[in-house]
Chain A
Amino acid sequence: MLKLNRLTATRITSTTAALESLAETLGADTVVMRIAPDEYLFIPELAQPEAILEFDPYAIILQDSSWFGGELAADESADLLEIHCEWEPPAERPVFAQGAVAEIPLKMWFTAEKTLFVLHAPYAHDFEERVS
């Protein structure tokens, strides 16, 4: 069963080029979610998010504590999605995908072994209820 907990995350709004440049400097232990062409979500939160300013002095940085997340093993996550997801998740691994799951906006990071489900705090209570 999916259990959601508060994550630490950094959300940055900037140009795609600047965000890509920043992403390239990060290690594999940071999950980079390209949630919009001008907005990336980094999990866990970046130690030095202001590094983006080198690439774009106008970037908006938010150490964003409003994201909740939880992990499921690959087979459990496939089962959850079969019931609750009406669009086809990508097959590549690792891969990021986002869209409505159980009619709630969800962000997912798929690796070969497991899936990280991430969503905004105001949805967390209902999402847990809907998928349990």
Chain B
Amino acid sequence: MTQSSSLKIVVDGKPQSFSEGDSLLIAMLRNEAHPTGGGTLCCGGDCPHCLATVDGVSYVRTCQVPAKPRTVVERENWGGSHPVLPEVNQPINKWTEARNRFCDVVVIGQGESGQAAAAEAQAAGKDVVTVDTGNGEEAIAIYAGPRVVVRTDTHMLTLHVRDEIVVATGAAEIPPVAPGSHNLMGLMTRRAAEAIAQAGIDLGKVVSIGAAPAGIESESLSGEIVRFDGADGKVTAVVMADESGTETTYTCDTVALGLGLHPRSALYLMGHDLPVRVVGEASGETDLPKCPTDGIVCPCIGASVEDLQYTWDSGFREMELIKRSTLAGTGTCQGMSCLPYIQSFILDKGKELQPRFTARPMNRQPTIGEIAAGAHYRITLRTALDGEHRKLGAQMERSGPWWRPWTYGDVWSEYWAVRTGVSIMDVSTLGKIVIAGPDALACLEKLYPTKVATIRTGRARYVLNLDERGYVLDDGLIAKESDTRYALTFTSSGSTHSEMWLRDWAHSWGMDVRIMNQTRSLGAINVTGPQAAELLRRAGLEKMPKFMRFVDTEVAGVPCRVYRLSFTGEVSVELHHHHKDSVKLWRVLIDMGQDLGIRPHGLDALTRLRLEKGHIIVGQDSDFDSTARRIHHDWAVKLEKEAFIGRQAVIRTNRIELDKMLVGFEMDEDGAFEGAVIWYEGEHAGFVTSYTWSPILNKAVMLGWLNYFDGALPTEVTINDQTARRVALPFYDKEGGRAKA
């Protein structure tokens, strides 16, 4: 074996040479450094004795990681305190790449049985992927799919399996449990001894217990282990007892332990109801060792046989309870070291052989950064005008599924533009669904609580969507295009859910309708304010449609569906148009409105403007349990109709005495906020759902839930230590003349 002086890793700050093909563990042993000071090494990725911090990541099994130049290893004093939390400030710079591979068969482990399984599947014409720790590939977990998640040297790999996963991970060797400390250098399993010797490391005088290592000269000892003796952290002798109890001390430099096998079946077990097969040693039975009366059973946690006994005597007599009370098996090796001894311990108590701990991911431990490879945030959608808003310096807000402008910098200028001049708002986010077909009317009639048949062509109506329990799900408009075709709108947050709602019912009723969700295909701009009509006239709209009607025409050369409605309380139209025309329409309107003082408004201004008009926002002012009458919308629910979703529930709940209502309050001074608690005569009376100071009314206005007291709603309450008066809605323009002007 050649040892190149140029190959160096850094261990505890000191450069150390290694040889081509070394694992980090072998490289350290070459320099007489045991990663954790001592303990029975397994070289198989099973035990916790070779753990170290590698390039800043703690709990790395150094026997499984190939040594590479400049790898930085920090040894941990196992048995002492835990590693410190790493200092990481930039999550992105160590981003792991994720890859996917689709195949028929995955074979995990490339020992004899793994190779045979792979060859057999290949011969049968299968597309086979093999995973082997020898190639730096560690199978992390098996998940539903089925999927096998693998950490490779360079990336995270998800294997998507069509036919079968074969687990051929072999077996771990059972570590020794003996009284006293055995955190000594020179203790190793039989296979570890073979691997270490093969790397050219001198093991000195070797004694073997149980099966002897191949290719190494060793003295084979018989009897039971009494204890290991050591000096300066190294094993110096092992004391054995024969059947008569006579003890003999054998001096040595290395103890090779062939105490039997414990199948590495965790991957198989975690895939219990998936097409996973286990072969070879991994499918075998554990060679249950004799559990001594003293000694450390779980090296990760430090649980001893005495602890097992104590727990047993305390009444904890189930495998899982013993695990949970002693914490044995909850450390890094997840029971690979201790489980055979605990099974043996329980068996000795006269109980049946208990199954292993429940196998769950992880089989090998990925970092949080590694397992996150390939993940993304839930996407926030961008309207066609997103770039325009950002150019104008808008503060963007994630609102429902969309990015929306919260304010362009000065909410009150935006507010006054609406109240006294003209303003525009991007309302492309509104849910927009077209329904057509011979049963379109019948379908809507069964869905909505309004009399859809009385909506005339060219007109629109405000509607509620109710669920089967009669609670308000969403609100919007129905616009009639023809006897067999309607355009529906929904709130910005409600469109996806509303589409499902619509389709589910249409389908289950067997309605002959076509449904197209156009939410993301069409842009929409709201033009509002006393000067809106003037701006639109300049843009080519000679005649404004009447209130709650719509026309299809061109505005600023852009084909638009023009809806006349109002949420702000001022004259208002919504221009629905093709996605590609949004930017053009937006810019033309801003250009043409310069001398009218135009400025766009964001959500912050809008929610204040609509509040002055007493309009609710479903989901903000309403709650899970909002029936139409609780939010003063019983006028929108026509119980005389034969059927609509929620009708029976509404009829039933209408017979129950009301407990609370959503009502309007006003207050002379500013100072409340959304969520402020409402008090009445010292008792809790409700809470505020929407609040604003109203400059035009020179008072604070709000919506809130108010409880009934002795069958009546209080007229004066206390909010934020001020007196607030319950008042009829709306607060602003009570006659409603402004929107219809």
Report A-B touching, CB under 8 Å. yes
Residues of A within 8 A of B (CB): 6, 11, 13-15, 38-39, 56, 58-60, 62-66, 81-88, 102-104, 120-126, 130
**B331 touches A (CB below 8 Å):** no
7 closest residue pairs by CB, A with B: A65-B580, A66-B579, A122-B381, A13-B516, A66-B521, A88-B102, A60-B516
Closest to B157 in A: A82
Asked whether A121 and B384 contact (CB < 8 A) given A62-B516, A86-B100, A103-B376, the answer is yes
**In the complex, which residues of chain A have a beta carbon less than 8 angstroms from the beta carbon of B580?**
6, 65-66
Asked whether A62 and B379 contact (CB < 8 A) given A6-B580, A86-B158, the answer is no
Grouping DSSP codes into helix (H, G, I), strand (E, B) and loop, the A interface class, with mixed when no group exceeds half, is mixed
**In the complex, which residues of chain A have a beta carbon less than 8 angstroms from the beta carbon of B101?**
82
Bound Cα distance from A122 to B101, whole angstroms: 29
**B437 touches A (CB below 8 Å):** yes
**In the complex, which residues of chain A have a beta carbon less than 8 angstroms from the beta carbon of B516?**
11, 13, 39, 60, 62
Asked whether A65 and B579 contact (CB < 8 A) given A82-B99, A86-B158, A122-B520, the answer is yes
**In the complex, which residues of chain A have a beta carbon less than 8 angstroms from the beta carbon of B578?**
63-66
**B599 touches A (CB below 8 Å):** no
Closest to B503 in A: A38
Closest to A124 in B: B382
Closest to A18 in B: B514
**In the complex, which residues of chain A have a beta carbon less than 8 angstroms from the beta carbon of B381?**
122-123
A58→B437 contact, CB < 8 A? yes
How far apart are A47's CB and chain B's nearest CB, in angstroms? 17
**In the complex, which residues of chain A have a beta carbon less than 8 angstroms from the beta carbon of B438?**
58
Closest to B383 in A: A122
Closest to B386 in A: A125
A13→B374 contact, CB < 8 A? no
How far apart are B223's CB and chain A's nearest CB, in angstroms? 56
**In the complex, which residues of chain A have a beta carbon less than 8 angstroms from the beta carbon of B713?**
none
How far apart are B430's CB and chain A's nearest CB, in angstroms? 13
A83→B98 contact, CB < 8 A? yes
**B388 touches A (CB below 8 Å):** no
B374→A84 contact, CB < 8 A? yes
How far apart are B390's CB and chain A's nearest CB, in angstroms? 11
A126→B514 contact, CB < 8 A? no
**B239 touches A (CB below 8 Å):** no
Bound Cα distance from A66 to B383, whole angstroms: 10
Chain B, range 559-600, C-beta contacts under 8 Å to A? 578-581
In the complex, per-residue mask of B480-496: 1 if CB is within 8 Å of any chain A CB, else 0: 00001100000000000
How far apart are A64's CB and chain B's nearest CB, in angstroms? 5
B379→A85 contact, CB < 8 A? no
Work out how many contacts link A and B, with CB atoms closer than 8 A.
Answer: 92
B382→A125 contact, CB < 8 A? yes
How far apart are A91's CB and chain B's nearest CB, in angstroms? 10
How far apart are B54's CB and chain A's nearest CB, in angstroms? 26
**B97 touches A (CB below 8 Å):** yes
**B515 touches A (CB below 8 Å):** yes
A123→B99 contact, CB < 8 A? no
B379→A104 contact, CB < 8 A? yes
**In the complex, which residues of chain A have a beta carbon less than 8 angstroms from the beta carbon of B382?**
121-122, 124-126
Asked whether A102 and B376 contact (CB < 8 A) given A88-B102, A120-B520, A125-B386, the answer is yes
Closest to A64 in B: B521
Select one of A11, A59, A83, A124 contacting B100, CB under 8 A.
A83
**In the complex, which residues of chain A have a beta carbon less than 8 angstroms from the beta carbon of B719?**
none
Closest to A6 in B: B580
Bound Cα distance from A14 to B382, whole angstroms: 28
Bound Cα distance from A129 to B14, whole angstroms: 42
A60→B434 contact, CB < 8 A? yes
Chain B, range 83-125, C-beta contacts under 8 Å to A? 97-102
**B160 touches A (CB below 8 Å):** yes
**B436 touches A (CB below 8 Å):** yes
**B518 touches A (CB below 8 Å):** yes
**In the complex, which residues of chain B have a beta carbon less than 8 angstroms from the beta carbon of A15?**
514
B379→A103 contact, CB < 8 A? yes
B376→A14 contact, CB < 8 A? no
B521→A62 contact, CB < 8 A? yes
Asked whether A14 and B514 contact (CB < 8 A) given A66-B521, A104-B379, the answer is yes
Chain B, range 306-346, C-beta contacts under 8 Å to A? none
B514→A38 contact, CB < 8 A? yes
Query: Could you pull out 17 A-B pairs where Cβ atoms are within 8 angstroms?
Result: A11-B521, A56-B514, A59-B436, A62-B518, A62-B521, A64-B521, A65-B581, A81-B100, A83-B100, A87-B160, A88-B102, A103-B378, A120-B520, A121-B384, A121-B520, A122-B381, A124-B382
A60→B99 contact, CB < 8 A? no
